[in-house]
Amino acid sequence: MNKKKSAPVTEGNEANRAKAPSAENGGTTYALFSSLDRTGQGEVLVADLAFALERLGLGNDDPRLFSFFAEIDALGRGARIDFNTFQQLIKTSPILVQKALQKQLIIPEFEQFRDDIKKIFASIAKNTSGKVADYIPQLAKVDPNQFGISVCTVDGQRFSFGDSDQLFSIQSTSKPTSYLIALALHGSEKVHRHVGREPSGHSFNAITLDGHNRPHNPMINAGAILCSSLINPENDAADRFDYVLNTWQRLFGGKRPDFNNSIYLSEKNTADRNFALAYFMREKKVFPPESDLHQALDLYFQCCSISATCENMAVSAATLANAGICPLTNDRVFEDGHVKDTLSLMYSCGMYDFSGEFAFLVGLPAKSGVSGVVQLVIPNVMGIAIWSPKLDIMGNSVRGVEFCIELVKRYNFHTYDTLIAGHSSKSDPRLRVNQIKQEGAVQICWAAANGDLSEIQRLIAAGVDVKEADYDGRTALHLAASEGHDEIVKYLLGHGADLESRDRWGGTPLDDAKRHSRSSVIELIEGRTKKKSISMEKRSDAASCYGSEVLN
Ligand code: GLU
């Protein structure tokens, strides 16, 4: 962008007042500009534009918006810009900025969602139960009270609370990625010749194989060691680890992961169980012939010792939620089909011996690690990382699990909540659902206007609310009343339609019926209104009879 052209305009300068362009020359962009023009002077305060994005969780640490925010900084937040400058500015990231300003991101009311999560975070912070893992001495040295949460949506909207920028070793949350890398390198058929897809029913480090002499699944130690053996065994150890780190970097939206060498050494020095497991697997000829047991184990320890923050882990969870494409870079890290397989296994096996309970209660794929991290994936919506080191007896972060349970109590994110959509009292912050609702409203209004009773019955049975209104605030009852479809008016009234609802111009369904002289509809509605007021009178009579008793 040419900075000379984007000089701030001065307040109240008539010459700078933008003229409304037509649709062809930027009508939509102009509408967005106007929505931020607080004074109507044809200018927008740079701070308002920046804030409009920041409140949606899009900040200057978003790689897609680096140049946008660099331009903002160059202008200064106190500057005022005209329409031309505004156009130039949003051109640095046109689709994302337009989508955001048009409220087209997956969570349009992002601040409200963030405030809600903050409340859950604050209430869970009070829970201090659990015990830090100490079987790896270095893990026991962390401050047990730390607690962080980060959220990243499939549109890259982000927020974090607490210790979300503290590094921890990712431990078992490395397992889905090692499995995904193995799938990418060899395909599902070869990988599953060596590892199963069944919950083991035993602890994560149990020395056990399935009936085909395979580790039960890639989410437990045996399966993860096996997947490590499949990661470029022909290369030397350094290149193999670099390959894994590079993949994590892509999952983190470009942020290079750290590596905790003390954890790695501590892990390796106390890994008798993992050595025993690997020797047992070698005896049973579980490994492919080209692999070396010690190298596979070493890579496994290194993967567990990769260090990251909640912020990073939320972006990688969001990449899985987004079918393998990192929301911050649009980089396709993994194939969608492989992500689907991985999420299926996280769903059934990701939370140690609590996996079945977790699937039942939370209904979402997740993976837990002994450092106290939980990655939660809400497919097509967002990824969440929760980190708090104190674990329950199953080895899951106490606060991590509690957060997931609280989240799905409030929001209809459980996979099977959709079965009770429309009847559930839970909220849904997704635009997609708003769109479906809006589509439902349009359909029912259309059917009402056309006198199509059976279509209305079908829509109501499918969960469309009769009270839904179209963009003009007109309900099905308004339209049926306007068109004089008494059967439909009767049906809608019998199914909860609201006689008092007002459209954009303040008109009720009765006003519509009167305007179009629909005498039978007028009779019907007035009859209902009379009945309603008589029963209200009766009720208030009854209330006054018993009033003294109630008051006493
Ligand atoms: N490094 C751990 C082990 O193999 C991973 C444990 C975990 O997070 O489940 O013992």
The full DSSP string for 142-178 is: S-TT--EEEEEETT--EEEEESTT--EE-GGGGHHHH
Q: What is the pTM of this model?
A: 0.77
- The answer as to whether 82 is a domain residue is yes
- The enclosing H or E element of 168 equals strand 168-169
pLDDT for the residue numbered 470? 76
pLDDT for the residue numbered 437? 62
267 with 143, same domain?
yes
Q: Could you tell me if 455 and 447 are in contact, meaning their C-beta atoms sit under 8 angstroms apart? A: yes
199 with 248, same domain?
yes
pLDDT for the residue numbered 40? 85
Tokens of 114: 């963030």
283 with 372, same domain?
yes
- The answer as to whether 375 is a domain residue is yes
- Distances from the Cα of 525 to the Cαs of 175, 495, 510, 512, in angstroms? 64, 14, 7, 11
- The answer as to whether 58 is a domain residue is yes
pLDDT for the residue numbered 22? 46
- The answer as to whether 100 is a domain residue is yes
Task: Report CA(133)–ligand 1 centroid distance (Å).
Answer: 10
> Among candidates 431, 492, 423, which has minimal Cα distance to 462?
423
93 with 151, same domain?
no
Express each pLDDT in 251-309 by its tens digit: 999 999 999 999 999 999 999 999 999 999 999 999 999 899 999 999 999 999 999 99
**Pocket of ligand 1 from Cβ distances under 6 Å:** 171-172, 204-205, 221, 267, 274, 304, 369-370
91 with 131, same domain?
no
Residue from 139, 168, 170, 172 whose mutation best tests the ligand 1 pocket (most atoms within 8 A of CB): 172
375 with 396, same domain?
yes
Residue from 175, 225, 262, 267 whose mutation best tests the ligand 1 pocket (most atoms within 8 A of CB): 267
Task: Report CA(205)–ligand 1 centroid distance (Å).
Answer: 8
Residues of the chain with pLDDT under 50: 1-20, 22-25, 539-552
Tokens of 206: 């149990």
> Hey, is 137 helix, strand or coil?
helix
What domain range is 497 assigned to? 440-524
> Among candidates 344, 340, 335, which has minimal Cα distance to 367?
344
Domain of residue 502, CATH code: 1.25.40.20
126 with 93, same domain?
no
- The answer as to whether 233 is a domain residue is yes
> Among candidates 289, 268, 278, 299, which has minimal Cα distance to 215?
278
76 with 148, same domain?
no
pLDDT for the residue numbered 442? 78
Residue nearest to atom 7 of ligand 1 (CA): 172
Count how many domains the chain has: 3
Which residues carry out catalysis? 172, 175, 300, 352, 370
pLDDT for the residue numbered 436? 58
Atom of ligand 1 nearest to the CA of 301: 1
Q: Could you tell me if 91 and 1 are in contact, meaning their C-beta atoms sit under 8 angstroms apart? A: yes
For residues 115 and 120, give the distance between their C-alpha atoms in angstroms, rounded to a whole number: 9
For residues 534 and 529, give the distance between their C-alpha atoms in angstroms, rounded to a whole number: 9
Residue nearest to atom 4 of ligand 1 (CA): 221
Atom of ligand 1 nearest to the CA of 370: 8
Task: Report CA(366)–ligand 1 centroid distance (Å).
Answer: 16
291 with 192, same domain?
yes
- Distances from the Cα of 372 to the Cαs of 144, 156, 173, 351, 368, in angstroms? 9, 24, 10, 12, 7
Provide the b/e sequence for 22-44 (b: ≥16 CB within 10 Å). eeeebeebbebbeebbeeebbbb
44 with 69, same domain?
yes
Task: Report CA(199)–ligand 1 centroid distance (Å).
Answer: 17
For residues 22 and 13, give the distance between their C-alpha atoms in angstroms, rounded to a whole number: 22
37 with 147, same domain?
no
Express each pLDDT in 162-217 by its tens digit: 999 999 999 999 999 999 999 999 999 999 999 999 999 888 889 999 999 999 99
- The answer as to whether 435 is a domain residue is no
98 with 140, same domain?
no
Instruction: Kindly state the DSSP code that residue 248 receives in the 8-state scheme.
Output: H
Instruction: State how far Cα 396 lies from the chain centre.
Output: 22
Atom of ligand 1 nearest to the CA of 274: 4
Residue from 227, 370, 371 whose mutation best tests the ligand 1 pocket (most atoms within 8 A of CB): 370
**Cβ-Cβ contacts under 8 Å for 123 (sequence gap 6 or more):** 406
Atom of ligand 1 nearest to the CA of 371: 8
- The answer as to whether 348 is a domain residue is yes
Q: Which residue has the tokens 């007042």?
A: 17
